[in-house]
């Protein structure tokens, strides 16, 4: 595994440093990736030159952060090489709050720099000096752990996790990223100090969580965190489903079912939103469970789950649009797709609620739900049928924007003043058109506008509300019927 070729840009930077009398090593993730035969995502150089000295040697560089990192710009076409990070050797000062190093102190040797790193597989360096023949500096036997496929903390694991508890999640994440197992003492220390994660910033936790979810072993990472008492500091709500049994249509607990839905999303290489929505799709079940045994029910769990997901993702400081998209996928994941039940109007209303751009993701979540139940009903044709149905109605109007009349038409056509009445009239028209798209002509709608314009604002508001609610109720009634018929939860 040791045929290593560093890139020309990296070699050039190292040569400049060496020529000026400094050391230059490749460090961290890129050495690990090279030794594994993977392509590094970024290239990091460590040196004994100070940040000022590095900047003087490379005029086209920027001081990137408070940790002594200088980004050296190259003219490479390769995204991963456009900026090479050159960081002065450092050791971290004592840690007082287990969140941030108190101070950044520069070190004088590569050995010191390696000793502050988190995991043995991340604590190797490759000597870039011209005569060094790519020698690997490996004081913590990282290569041995790469071969044995083991994640192990550098030095005393308890001390390392106490210094920075995020390393607990990093150990889980790298295990999932590389498909490695945890060294016994490292895992024991993770278990013991998991509670320190409470003091770690939510943003740092979110970043590790997202990386973890995007790995090929994300589902195993979730199981591992549950087993080791780590999950409750990341996603306590997910843990509520452990040992919560389901009804006769499921063979797994709520927790196991959620994890299996994630597994499906991972295996299908679905995107981050779909993976998280799959993992959380039934998170509302423990709180909505009624009764015990084969006939227990979970009515409304998708709405409870939506609310919980909003809270969870907000707490973890996920971007607002992502939070809302995931919550929407959870709320709508129970959509009816029985071809005998879904009408064209029902399909249009689904499109309106979910948005065209989210339909594919919603189908993906539902697939995972089905497969993750362990007893998938042989009815993928039904999903296909609904997709076809949606395709068919997708050109129909599903939002007020798609009506053949707009606010200005209403105002001039009915000779009325701008104001809330206009919006209510458009809302009433949309409900009618959702049921019957053939009504969407300017002539028919303007007729209706003139009639509606006679009514006062209070009346119109009621009608608008009522039209939407009765349509949604009709949909809910159909869904309730279906559930009774099939006991689908």
Residues that bind Mg ion (CB under 5 A): 29, 42
Q: What letter does residue 439 receive in the DSSP assignment? A: G
The full 3-state SS of 98-153, as one line of letters, equals CCCCCCEEECCCHHHHHHCCCEHHHCCEEECCHHHCCCEECCCCHHHHHHHCEECE
Q: Residue 41 CB, nearest distance to Mg ion (Å)?
A: 6
Q: What residue spans of 268-337 are helical by DSSP H?
A: 272-280, 285-288, 301-315, 320-331
Q: Is 69 helix (H, G, I), strand (E, B) or coil?
A: strand
- Segment 20 to 49, residues that bind ligand ATP, using CB under 6 A: 28-29, 41
Q: Could you tell which of Mg ion, ligand ATP, none binds residue 452, using a CB distance below 5 to 8 A set by kind? A: none
Residue linked to tokens 């509302």: 284
Residue 117 interacting with ligand ATP (CB under 6 A) = yes
Residue linked to tokens 């209070």: 458
Which two tokens mark 172?
């889980």
Residue 165 interacting with ligand ATP (CB under 6 A) = no
Residue linked to tokens 């939860």: 489
Instruction: Tell me the sheet residues that pair with 69.
Output: 87
d(CA 274, CA 364): 7
Residue 377 interacting with ligand ATP (CB under 6 A) = no
Q: Could you tell which of ligand ATP, Mg ion, none binds residue 64, using a CB distance below 5 to 8 A set by kind? A: none
**CB under 6 A: which stretch of 3-11, 161-169, 296-304, 369-377 binds ligand ATP?**
161-169
Q: Could you tell which of Mg ion, ligand ATP, none binds residue 212, using a CB distance below 5 to 8 A set by kind? A: none
Q: Which is nearer to ligand ATP, 170 or 285 (CB)?
A: 170
**CB under 6 A: which stretch of 136-144, 162-170, 249-257, 394-402 binds ligand ATP?**
162-170
Terminal-to-terminal C-alpha distance of the chain: 51
Q: Is 85 helix (H, G, I), strand (E, B) or coil?
A: strand
Please tell me the count of residues contacting ligand ATP according to CB under 6 A.
10
Using an 8 Å Cβ cutoff, are 425 and 410 in contact?
Answer: yes
Which two tokens mark 344?
């064209």
Q: Residue 85 CB, nearest distance to Mg ion (Å)?
A: 9
Q: Is 297 helix (H, G, I), strand (E, B) or coil?
A: strand
Q: Could you tell which of ligand ATP, Mg ion, none binds residue 122, using a CB distance below 5 to 8 A set by kind? A: ligand ATP
Options 118, 240, 282, 369; binder of ligand ATP; rule CB under 6 A: 118
How large is the C-alpha radius of gyration of the chain? Answer: 29
273 contact partners, CB below 8 Å, separation of at least 6: 322, 325, 326, 329, 361
Options 48, 61, 88, 122; binder of ligand ATP; rule CB under 6 A: 122
- CA 222 vs. chain centroid, Å, equals 13
Q: Which is nearer to Mg ion, 29 or 397 (CB)?
A: 29
Q: What letter does residue 150 receive in the DSSP assignment? A: E
Instruction: Tell me the sheet residues that pair with 108.
Output: none
Q: Residue 396 CB, nearest distance to ligand ATP (Å)?
A: 46
Q: Residue 233 CB, nearest distance to ligand ATP (Å)?
A: 16
Options 9, 164, 187, 332; binder of ligand ATP; rule CB under 6 A: 164
Options 10, 54, 150, 166; binder of ligand ATP; rule CB under 6 A: 166
- Closest CB to ligand ATP belongs to which residue? 29
Q: Residue 66 CB, nearest distance to ligand ATP (Å)?
A: 15
Q: Could you tell which of ligand ATP, Mg ion, none binds residue 164, using a CB distance below 5 to 8 A set by kind? A: ligand ATP
Q: Could you tell which of ligand ATP, Mg ion, none binds residue 485, using a CB distance below 5 to 8 A set by kind? A: none
Q: Which is nearer to ligand ATP, 167 or 349 (CB)?
A: 167
d(CA 208, CA 151): 16
Question: What length does the chain have?
Answer: 489
Q: Residue 117 CB, nearest distance to ligand ATP (Å)?
A: 4
d(CA 310, CA 325): 10
Q: Residue 208 CB, nearest distance to Mg ion (Å)?
A: 12
**CB under 6 A: which stretch of 164-172, 310-318, 389-397, 404-412 binds ligand ATP?**
164-172
Which two tokens mark 290?
């009624």
Q: Is 130 exposed, middle or buried (0-12, 13-18, 19+ CB in 10 A)?
A: exposed
Q: Residue 23 CB, nearest distance to ligand ATP (Å)?
A: 17
Quick note: the x/- pattern for ligand ATP over 342-361, rule CB under 6 A, is: --------------------
Which two tokens mark 234?
């990341």
Residue 167 interacting with ligand ATP (CB under 6 A) = yes
Using CB under 6 A as the criterion, which residues of the chain lie in contact with ligand ATP when the complex forms?
A: 28-29, 41, 117-118, 122-123, 164, 166-167
């Amino acid at each position: 595994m040791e045929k290593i070729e560093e890139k020309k840009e990296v070699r050039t930077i190292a040569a400049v440093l060496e020529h000026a009398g400094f050391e230059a090593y490749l460090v961290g993730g890129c050495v690990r990736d090279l030794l594994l035969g993977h392509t590094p995502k970024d290239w990091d150089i460590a040196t004994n030159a100070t940040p000022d000295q590095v900047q003087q040697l490379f005029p086209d560089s920027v001081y990137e952060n408070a940790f002594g990192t200088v980004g050296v710009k190259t003219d490479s076409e390769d995204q991963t090489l456009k900026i090479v990070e050159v960081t002065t050797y450092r050791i971290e000062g004592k840690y007082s709050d287990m969140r941030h190093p108190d101070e950044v102190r520069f070190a004088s040797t590569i050995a010191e720099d390696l000793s502050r790193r988190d995991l043995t597989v991340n604590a190797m360096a490759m000597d870039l000096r011209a005569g060094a023949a790519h020698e690997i500096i490996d004081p913590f036997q990282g290569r041995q752990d790469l071969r044995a496929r083991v994640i192990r903390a550098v030095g005393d694991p308890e001390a390392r996790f106490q210094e920075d508890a995020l390393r607990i999640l990093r150990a889980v994440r790298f295990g999932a990223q590389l498909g490695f197992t945890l060294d016994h003492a490292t895992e024991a220390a993770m278990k013991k100090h998991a509670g320190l994660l409470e003091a770690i910033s939510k943003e740092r936790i979110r970043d590790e969580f997202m990386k973890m979810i995007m790995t090929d072993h994300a589902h195993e990472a979730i199981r591992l965190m549950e087993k080791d008492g780590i999950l409750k500091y990341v996603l306590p709500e997910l843990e509520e489903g452990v040992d919560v049994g389901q009804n006769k249509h499921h063979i797994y607990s709520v927790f196991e079912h959620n994890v299996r839905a994630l597994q499906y999303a991972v295996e299908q290489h679905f995107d981050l939103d779909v993976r998280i929505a799959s993992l959380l799709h039934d998170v509302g079940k423990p709180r909505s469970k009624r009764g015990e045994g084969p006939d227990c029910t979970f009515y409304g769990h998708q709405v409870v789950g939506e609310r919980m997901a909003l809270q969870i993702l907000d707490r973890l400081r996920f971007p607002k649009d992502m939070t809302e998209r995931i919550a929407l996928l959870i709320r709508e994941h129970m959509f009816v797709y029985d071809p005998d039940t879904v009408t064209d109007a029902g399909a249009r209303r689904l499109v309106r609620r979910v948005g065209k751009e989210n339909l594919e993701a919603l189908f993906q979540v539902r697939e995972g739900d089905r497969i993750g139940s362990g007893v998938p009903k042989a009815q993928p044709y039904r999903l296909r049928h609904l997709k076809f149905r949606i395709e068919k109605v997708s050109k129909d109007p599903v939002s007020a924007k798609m009506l053949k009349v707009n606010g200005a038409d209403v105002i001039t056509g009915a000779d009325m003043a701008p104001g809330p009445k206009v919006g209510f009239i458009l809302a009433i028209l949309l409900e009618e058109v959702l049921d019957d798209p053939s009504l969407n002509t300017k002539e028919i709608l303007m007729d209706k506008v003139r009639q509606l314009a006679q009514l006062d604002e209070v009346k119109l508001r009621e009608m608008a509300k009522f039209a939407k609610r009765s349509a949604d109720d009709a949909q809910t009634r159909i869904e309730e019927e279906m559930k009774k018929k099939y006991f689908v939860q």
